[in-house]
Amino acid sequence: MARVRVPRPVTSRPSVQAPAHPGPATTQVLVSRRLTSPLHGTARLERPALASVIPRPATIDCRASRRPHSLLLFLLAALLPACMSYGPPVRSPGYGAPGRIRQGQLEIGGAVAHPGNPGSGGPFIGYGLRDWASIEIGADFSYRQWALGYLGGRFTYAPKRDRKLHGALDGELGVGGGAGGQFYCPQDPCADARRWTDRAALGGYVGGGAGYHFSFFALYARGRFQATAAEGLPSTLFGTLHGGMQFRIARHVDIFASGGLFGLHNSEGNVYNPYWDVGLSVYFDVLRRKQRPAARAPHRMSF
């Protein structure tokens, strides 16, 4: 009886080998199959297994990437408006150097300042009731944010203002009202859709300044504290501290500019920003000042 030789089936032995030079981001796995056949002998085939490509995450240095981002966030926080709600200030710009007008003089001026986007400020009118007291009325605006009017008084101490070199102190007090404020709403749509013109606002301010006049220019420093309340907004406290220079460009025309720090506080947080203001003042006599008559010398009789 003859024997029938049945060929053995082809068997495969998978093995995993890594390439000699893997790439930097991925590793390709090669599957090697050893084919055994009685007719063709032993053969070895290698092909890449596409499903076995394992991605390797790239390494990022977080320390190097945090530093510039932190600096950028700090600059943006110092220059851009805060993401918070607040009531409007009653009087944004400063006044300039103290001791500018006297009794019977009318002052017409205006100034712009930061805070505000892009800025805030407005005109004002003052009248000297006495050398040491004057009354002021004015307005403060910021584009699509607020519009208020204010009424206040200024009290000046400058006993030697007739001299070219002299110092002066003053204090200010006033109240104001209008409409506006900044409402920050992270939700969309917002629950409170009122515009700034629909928010009534009321507040007051108190402040003071000190300066020294050198003939045609003066150096001064000022501070002011304000408190405001607006409809639908948290009650807000404002504070400014700044110093600057004032120049007399004509007999009764002064320009002033200053810089410093501005801050606000309410229930939503605190914000501190750079502060600056620039203004112009024109003042002139409305009523002539009454001069005291000189004392008469005693009459001497001679014989």
Q: Is 161 a domain residue?
A: yes
Q: Which two tokens stand for residue 222?
A: 């000022």
CB 205 within 8 A of CB 152: yes
Question: What pTM value is reported for the model?
Answer: 0.69
Q: Report residue 60 CA to chain centroid gap.
A: 34
CATH number at residue 213: 2.40.128
Query: Over 100-145, what HEC string results?
Result: CCCCCEEEEEEEEEECCCCCEEEEEEEEECCCCEEEEEEEEEECCC
Single-letter amino acid code for the residue at 23:
G
Q: Is 55 a domain residue?
A: no
Cβ burial 94-116 (10 Å sphere, 16+ → b, else e) = bbbbbbbbbbbbbbebbbbbbbb
Q: Which two tokens stand for residue 256?
A: 């002033």
Q: Which of 255, 261, 256 is nearest to 242 (CA)?
A: 261
- pLDDT at position 281: 97
Number of domains composing the chain? 1
Instruction: Report phi then psi at 135, rounded to 5.
Output: -110, 145
CB 154 within 8 A of CB 171: yes
Residues sharing a CB contact under 8 Å with residue 26, sequence separation 6 or more, in sequence order: 53, 54, 55, 56
Please give the angle made by the CA atoms of 80, 86 and 87, to the nearest 5 degrees: 125
Residue 81, preceding peptide bond in cis (omega within 30° of 0)? no
Q: Which two tokens stand for residue 273?
A: 């920003």
Q: Is 280 a domain residue?
A: yes
Q: Which two tokens stand for residue 167?
A: 């110092």
Q: Is 292 a domain residue?
A: no
- pLDDT at position 191: 73
Q: In a structure prediction context, what are the per-residue pLDDT tens digits for the chain, which is 303 residues long?
A: 455 555 565 554 544 454 444 444 444 444 444 444 433 444 444 444 444 444 443 333 333 333 444 444 344 344 445 578 999 999 999 999 999 999 999 999 999 998 766 789 999 999 999 999 999 999 999 999 999 999 999 999 999 999 999 999 999 999 999 999 988 877 777 778 889 999 999 999 999 999 999 989 999 999 999 999 999 999 999 999 999 999 999 989 999 999 999 999 999 999 999 999 999 999 999 977 665 555 455 555 554
Q: Is 262 a domain residue?
A: yes
CA–CA distance from 140 to each of 32, 87, 147, 149, 211 (Å)? 82, 13, 6, 6, 24
**Beta partners for 55?**
26
Q: Is 87 a domain residue?
A: no
Q: Is 214 a domain residue?
A: yes
Q: Is 93 a domain residue?
A: no
Structural domain harbouring 164? 105-285
| Alpha helices by DSSP H, the chain | 62-79
